[in-house]
C-alpha cells in the first residue's frame, strides 16, 4: 500500500510544510541584516572632523538617537550623512556647543534628542530569534529521529495521531478480493461471518448475542494473513483502517498510547468499520516478562491503552478489530481474553490442495507451457507457504525469460523450486576431486540409511551440486503426518547421522561437513527427551511451555540432577543413532560405494537409482510428495 494516508481529521494540519520554518528564518535574518544598515551612504565620523565641519557651518542638523548615536545631516542633504557614537551625553553637547561658540557661529546647531523605539529589531533580537532558533533545532532533531527510527519524517505535530490508512468508498485499496486468496476456506468463512456481523448486527443481537470485538489471525509467516485482511477491505464495503503494530511505536513516551486513542476515536466516528492491526506482536508482547531490563514501559502503556480501548467500546458499537501475528505464543494473555480478541483464526501452511489453488492464483497472469501441471508442482512443494509459492511462480517466469523462452515450462518451475529451497546453484564453486568424493559419500550415506530404514522418509533425489550454503542436498518423500512415533523420529535421526557415518565407514575420518546434521539431530533428541516425554529415564514429563509466560532461559524448571540426566540421555540417543547408522552402512558398504560413484558421475540421482542398487523398499509408499533437506556437505 502506498503512502496514502487519509486521516480525515488531521488533513488540514498535515499540509503544514516544515520548509516554511526555514523560509521564515531566512526572511527574518535578511530583514535584520538590512535594518541594521539602511541608508547606505552613512559614514562614521570622528569628533575632530565633526568639529571642523561645524565650524565651517557645513552641518545642518544633529539628531541624537536613544542617547547613543548622533545622526548628522550636512547642508543641502535630506538624508543623514554621518553618524557619530557619543560617549557621555553631556560631554557631547558641551563639546559641540563650545566648538561652534569658538568659531563665532551665529546660528549654532543644537543637538536634538529623539528616542527611537526600534520595536522590530529589539523584539526580533530578544524574543523571536531565540525562539526561532530553538524551534529550528527541535524540528531538525525530530525530523532526524523520525527518519532514522521509524520512517515517519516531517510529522512532528501529528506525532500522537494514528498512522492508520483508511480505506472506504472514496479510497479503494489495492484491489485484493477473496478470489486472490487461495485456500484458507475456514478462515474465509469466519471472516465473512464477521463482516456480516458488521452489516447486519440486529440479526445477531436480536437473540441477545454479542458481536465479537476482536479477531486474531494467527499463523506462520507468508501464509496470507495480511493478504486475507486486505481482501476483507476489498470485500466488506465498510471503512477499513489498516495499521501495523510497529506504527504505534515511537521513541517518545506516550505516543503509542495516544495513537491508539486517536485510532479508536476515528474508527468510532466511521462505524461500522474494521480496524486491522498487522504484526500486532510489536505491541502485544506479554508485559513485564523480562525481569532484567524491566520490560519496555512505552510498549506496555501502548498495550494497556489498546486493552482499555477494546474494553471501552460497547460490544455493538460496530467496530471490529482484526489483528494478525505469527507469534501468538508471545502475545499477552490479556489480549486473548474473552471480550477482546475472543476469536482466533488459524491460518496454516497450505496442504496439497491449498498449494494447488495458490499456484492457480499466481499462474493467472503467466504464460505457461503445456507441460506445466499445478498438481505436480503442488506435490513438489510440501512445507511451502503461500509467499514461497508466489515466489516460485515469479522465479520460474524470470528463469524462462532468461532462457529466452516464449512460455514458462515445467523445468523452469523445477529450477525455481530448487533455487528457493537451496539458493542459487554455484556452478563455479571450486570443489576439489577429493572434496567431491567426500560430499558424494556423505550424501549417499543419508540416501542409503533412509532407504533401508522402515520409518525414515525415503529419498527421491540427491544432488551434490553446491547451492547456496550447502554442498549437497537430499530430497525426501515425507508422509504428511499429524503425530510421529518414537520409531519414526529415531529412524530419521539415524538417516541424519548417515552422512557422517558414511564418511567414517569409508574414509575412517570425519569432517566438519556434518554441522547442520548434528545441529538437527541434537535439537531433535533434546525435544524428544524434554518435550515429548519419549525417554525412559526422564519419563512422561514435558518441560515445554506453550503459554510462553515462563522464562526458561533464566530458570530451568528442573533440578541440576535432572539437567544432568537430560544431557546424558540426549547424548546416549544421538550416539545410538550414530552407531546404528555405522552398522547399516558397514553392512551395505558396496551399495553405498556404488551410489556415491553414481553421484560423482551424474551429480544428481533419483529414487530409481537407489532402487536399482538396493531393490524396492519392502514397506510400500502411499504418499508421493517430497520435501527437501539440506546439508552442508
Ligand atoms: P503473512 O501471513 O506473513 O501476512 P502475506 O499475506 O503477506 O503473509 O503473504 C505474502 C504473499 O504471499 C501474498 O502477497 C501473496 O502473494 C502470497 N500468498 C500467501 N498466501 C496466499 C494465499 N492463500 N493465496 C494466494 N496468495 C498467497
Ligand atoms: Mg503479514
Ligand atoms: Zn548431511
User: Domain range holding 306?
Assistant: 156-346
225 lines ligand 1 (CB under 6 A): yes
Whether residue 230 is found in the same domain as residue 336: yes
What number does the ligand 1 atom closest to the CA of 180 have? Answer: 25
Nearest ligand, measured from the Cα of 358: 1
Q: Using alpha carbons, list the distances in angstroms from residue 118 to 30, 38, 146, 265.
A: 17, 13, 40, 49
Does 309 reside within a domain?
yes
Whether residue 113 is found in the same domain as residue 124: no
Per-residue pLDDT of 532-571, as tens digits, reads 999 888 889 888 877 655 655 667 788 889 999 999 999 9
Cell of 91: 560631554
- The reply to whether omega before 272 is within 30° of 0 (cis) is yes
Q: Using alpha carbons, list the distances in angstroms from residue 239 to 13, 177, 269, 417.
A: 22, 15, 10, 39
Residue predicted with more confidence, 1 or 517: 517
Does 428 reside within a domain?
no
388 CA → ligand 1 middle, Å? 9
Q: How confident is the model at residue 43 (pLDDT cuts 50, 70, 90)?
A: confident
Whether residue 107 is found in the same domain as residue 135: no
**How many C-alpha atoms does 466 have within 13 Å on its Cβ side?**
15
Whether residue 472 is found in the same domain as residue 535: yes
Whether residue 112 is found in the same domain as residue 124: no
382 lines ligand 1 (CB under 6 A): no
User: Whole-number mean pLDDT of the chain?
Assistant: 79
User: What does the pLDDT read at residue 467?
Assistant: 64
- At 55, which CATH number? 3.40.1690.20
221 CA → ligand 1 middle, Å? 8
Provide the domain count of the chain: 5
Cα-flanking dihedrals φ and ψ of residue 356, to 5°?
-60, -45
Whether residue 402 is found in the same domain as residue 439: no
What number does the ligand 1 atom closest to the CA of 220 have? Answer: 2
Residue predicted with more confidence, 448 or 348: 448
The SS3 assignment for 601 reads: helix
Per-residue pLDDT of 182-240, as tens digits, reads 888 888 888 888 888 877 888 887 888 777 888 889 888 888 898 888 888 777 778 88
Tell whether the model's pLDDT for residue 633 goes beyond 60: no
358 lines ligand 1 (CB under 6 A): yes
What is the pLDDT averaged over residues 246-257? 77
Cα-flanking dihedrals φ and ψ of residue 185, to 5°?
-60, -45
Tell whether the model's pLDDT for residue 3 goes beyond 60: no
Nearest ligand, measured from the Cα of 278: 2
Q: How confident is the model at residue 154 (pLDDT cuts 50, 70, 90)?
A: very low
What is the pLDDT averaged over residues 597-605? 85
Rounded to the nearest 5 degrees, what angle is found at the Cα of 219, between the Cα atoms of 213 and 222?
A: 120
Q: Using alpha carbons, list the distances in angstroms from residue 149 to 96, 155, 254.
A: 67, 13, 16
Per-residue pLDDT of 447-467, as tens digits, reads 999 889 888 877 777 877 766
- Which residues, in sequence order, are bridge partners of residue 84? 70
222 lines ligand 1 (CB under 6 A): yes
- Which residues, in sequence order, are bridge partners of residue 456? none
120 lines ligand 1 (CB under 6 A): no
Cell of 433: 576431486
- At 365, which CATH number? 1.10.8.60
- Could you tell me if 85 and 69 are in contact, meaning their C-beta atoms sit under 8 angstroms apart? yes
Whether residue 134 is found in the same domain as residue 248: no
Per-residue pLDDT of 99-120, as tens digits, reads 888 888 877 888 888 777 666 6
What is the pLDDT averaged over residues 399-406? 92
226 lines ligand 1 (CB under 6 A): yes
Does 151 reside within a domain?
no
Q: How confident is the model at residue 10 (pLDDT cuts 50, 70, 90)?
A: very low
Per-residue pLDDT of 483-507, as tens digits, reads 788 888 999 999 999 999 999 999 9
Q: How confident is the model at residue 628 (pLDDT cuts 50, 70, 90)?
A: very low
234 CA → ligand 1 middle, Å? 15
Residue predicted with more confidence, 629 or 342: 342
Q: Is 58 a catalytic residue?
A: no
Instruction: Report which protein residue has its CA nearest ligand 1's atom 6.
Output: 224
Q: Last residue of some domain: 301, 324, 346?
A: 346
285 lines ligand 1 (CB under 6 A): no
Among 323-332, 368-377, 429-438, 457-466, which stretch is predicted with the lowest mean pLDDT? Answer: 457-466
- Helices then strands, counting H and E runs in the chain, come out as 23, 15
User: What does the pLDDT read at residue 393?
Assistant: 94
Rounded to the nearest 5 degrees, what angle is found at the Cα of 566, between the Cα atoms of 560 and 570?
A: 150
393 lines ligand 1 (CB under 6 A): no
In whole angstroms, give the CA distance from residue 28 to residue 185.
Answer: 65
- At 491, which CATH number? 1.20.58.760
Whether residue 194 is found in the same domain as residue 135: no
Cell of 606: 533419483
In whole angstroms, give the CA distance from residue 233 to residue 273.
Answer: 10
226 CA → ligand 1 middle, Å? 7
Cell of 187: 478462515
Tell whether the model's pLDDT for residue 339 goes beyond 50: yes
First to last CA, the chain: 42
Per-residue pLDDT of 431-449, as tens digits, reads 778 888 888 999 899 999 9
Cα-flanking dihedrals φ and ψ of residue 149, to 5°?
-90, -55
In whole angstroms, give the CA distance from residue 324 to residue 329.
Answer: 13
Does 410 reside within a domain?
yes
Residue predicted with more confidence, 238 or 573: 573
Does 551 reside within a domain?
no
Whether residue 536 is found in the same domain as residue 398: no
What is the pLDDT averaged over residues 292-313? 74
Whether residue 374 is found in the same domain as residue 338: no
Does 552 reside within a domain?
no
Does 569 reside within a domain?
yes
User: Which is the catalytic residue, given 71, 298, 395, 443?
Assistant: 443
The single-letter DSSP state of residue 150 is: I
User: What does the pLDDT read at residue 156?
Assistant: 52
User: What does the pLDDT read at residue 621?
Assistant: 53
What number does the ligand 1 atom closest to the CA of 219 have? Answer: 2
Does 607 reside within a domain?
yes
Q: How confident is the model at residue 144 (pLDDT cuts 50, 70, 90)?
A: low
Instruction: Report which protein residue has its CA nearest ligand 1's atom 1.
Output: 222
Among 126-135, 369-378, 420-429, 586-595, which stretch is predicted with the lowest mean pLDDT? Answer: 420-429
473 CA → ligand 1 middle, Å? 27
Among 127-136, 157-166, 434-443, which stretch is predicted with the lowest mean pLDDT? Answer: 157-166
611 CA → ligand 3 middle, Å? 21
Residue predicted with more confidence, 10 or 178: 178
| CA trace torsion 334, 339, 345, 346 (10° rounding) | 20
Whether residue 342 is found in the same domain as residue 360: no
H-helix or E-strand containing 399? Answer: helix 386-402
Cα-flanking dihedrals φ and ψ of residue 575, to 5°?
-65, -40
Of 169, 292, 183, 143, nearest to 236 by C-alpha is 169
The secondary structure of 243-311 as a DSSP string is: EEGGGG--SSTTHHHHHHHHHHHHHHHH-SEEEEEESTHHHHBPTT--TTTT--HHHHHHHHHHHHHHH
Nearest ligand, measured from the Cα of 498: 3
Residue 169: left (phi > 0), alpha (psi -120 to 50), or beta?
alpha
Whether residue 392 is found in the same domain as residue 515: no
Amino acid at each position: 500500500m502506498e503512502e496514502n494516508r487519509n486521516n480525515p481529521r488531521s488533513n488540514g494540519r498535515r499540509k503544514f510544510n516544515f520548509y516554511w520554518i526555514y523560509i521564515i528564518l531566512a526572511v527574518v535574518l535578511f530583514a535584520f541584516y538590512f535594518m541594521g544598515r539602511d541608508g547606505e551612504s552613512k559614514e562614521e565620523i570622528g569628533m575632530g572632523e565633526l568639529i571642523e565641519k561645524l565650524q565651517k557651518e557645513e552641518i545642518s542638523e544633529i539628531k541624537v538617537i536613544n542617547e547613543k548615536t548622533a545622526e548628522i545631516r550636512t547642508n543641502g542633504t535630506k538624508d543623514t550623512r554621518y553618524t557619530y557614537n557619543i560617549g557621555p551625553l553631556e560631554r557631547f553637547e558641551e563639546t559641540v556647543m563650545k566648538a561652534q561658540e569658538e568659531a563665532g557661529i551665529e546660528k549654532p546647531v543644537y543637538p536634538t534628542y529623539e528616542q527611537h523605539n526600534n520595536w522590530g529589531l529589539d523584539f526580533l533580537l530578544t524574543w523571536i530569534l531565540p525562539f526561532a532558533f530553538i524551534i529550528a533545532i527541535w524540528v531538525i532533531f525530530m525530523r532526524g529521529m523520525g527518519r532514522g527510527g521509524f520512517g515517519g519524517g516531517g510529522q512532528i505535530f501529528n506525532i500522537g495521531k494514528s498512522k492508520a490508512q483508511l480505506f472506504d468508498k472514496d479510497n479503494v485499496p489495492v484491489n485484493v478480493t477473496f478470489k486472490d486468496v487461495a485456500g484458507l476456506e475456514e478462515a474465509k468463512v469466519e471472516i465473512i461471518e464477521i463482516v456480516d456481523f458488521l452489516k447486519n448486527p440486529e440479526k445477531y443481537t436480536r437473540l441477545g448475542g454479542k458481536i465479537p470485538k476482536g479477531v486474531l489471525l494467527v499463523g506462520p509467516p507468508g501464509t496470507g494473513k495480511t493478504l486475507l485482511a486486505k481482501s476483507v477491505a476489498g470485500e466488506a464495503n465498510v471503512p477499513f483502517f489498516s495499521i501495523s503494530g510497529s506504527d504505534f511505536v515511537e521513541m517518545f513516551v506516550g505516543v503509542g498510547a495516544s495513537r491508539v486513542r486517536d485510532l479508536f476515536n476515528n474508527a468510532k466516528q466511521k462505524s461500522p468499520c474494521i480496524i486491522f492491526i498487522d504484526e500486532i506482536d510489536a505491541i502485544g508482547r506479554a508485559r513485564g516478562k523480562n525481569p532484567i531490563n524491566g520490560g519496555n514501559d512505552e510498549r506496555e502503556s501502548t498495550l494497556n491503552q489498546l486493552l482499555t480501548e477494546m474494553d471501552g467500546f460497547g460490544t455493538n458499537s460496530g467496530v471490529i478489530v482484526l489483528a494478525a501475528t505469527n507469534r501468538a505464543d508471545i502475545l499477552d494473555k490479556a489480549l486473548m481474553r474473552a471480550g477482546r480478541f475472543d476469536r482466533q483464526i488459524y491460518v496454516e501452511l497450505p496442504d496439497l490442495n491449498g498449494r494447488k489453488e495458490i499456484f492457480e492464483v499466481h499462474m493467472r497472469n503467466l504464460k505457461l507451457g503445456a507441460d506445466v501441471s499445478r498438481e505436480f508442482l503442488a506435490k513438489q512443494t510440501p512445507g511451502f507457504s503461500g509467499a514461497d509459492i508466489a515466489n516460485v511462480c515469479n522465479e520460474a517466469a524470470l528463469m524462462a525469460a532468461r532462457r529466452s523462452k516464449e512460455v514458462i515450462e515445467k523445468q523452469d518451475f523445477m529450477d525455481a523450486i530448487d533455487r528457493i529451497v537451496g539458493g542459487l546453484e554455484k556452478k563455479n564453486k571450486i570443489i576439489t576431486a577429493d572434496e567431491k568424493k567426500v560430499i558424494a559419500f556423505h550424501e549417499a550415506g543419508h540416501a542409503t540409511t533412509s532407504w533401508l530404514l522402515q520409518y525414515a522418509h525415503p529419498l527421491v533425489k540427491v544432488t551434490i551440486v553446491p547451492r547456496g550454503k550447502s554442498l549437497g542436498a537430499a530430497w525426501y518423500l515425507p508422509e504428511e503426518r499429524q503425530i510421529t512415533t518414537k520409531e519414526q523420529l529415531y529412524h530419521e535421526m539415524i538417516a541424519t547421522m548417515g552422512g557422517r557415518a558414511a564418511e567414517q565407514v569409508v574414509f575412517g575420518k570425519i569432517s566438519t561437513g556434518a554441522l547442520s546434521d548434528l545441529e538437527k539431530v541434537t535439537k531433535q533428541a533434546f525435544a524428544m527427551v524434554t518435550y515429548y516425554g519419549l525417554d525412559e529415564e526422564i519419563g512422561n514429563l514435558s518441560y515445554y511451555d506453550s503459554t510462553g509466560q515462563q522464562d526458561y532461559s533464566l530458570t530451568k524448571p528442573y533440578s541440576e540432577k535432572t539437567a544432568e540426566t537430560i544431557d546424558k540421555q540426549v547424548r546416549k540417543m544421538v550416539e545410538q543413532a550414530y552407531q546404528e547408522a555405522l552398522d547399516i552402512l558397514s553392512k551395505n558398504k558396496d551399495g553405498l560405494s556404488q551410489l556415491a560413484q553414481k553421484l560423482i558421475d551424474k551429480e544428481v540421482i533419483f529414487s530409481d537409482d537407489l532402487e536399482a542398487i538396493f531393490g524396492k523398499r519392502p514397506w510400500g509408499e502411499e504418499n508421493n510428495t517430497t520435501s527437501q533437506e539440506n546439508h552442508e556437505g
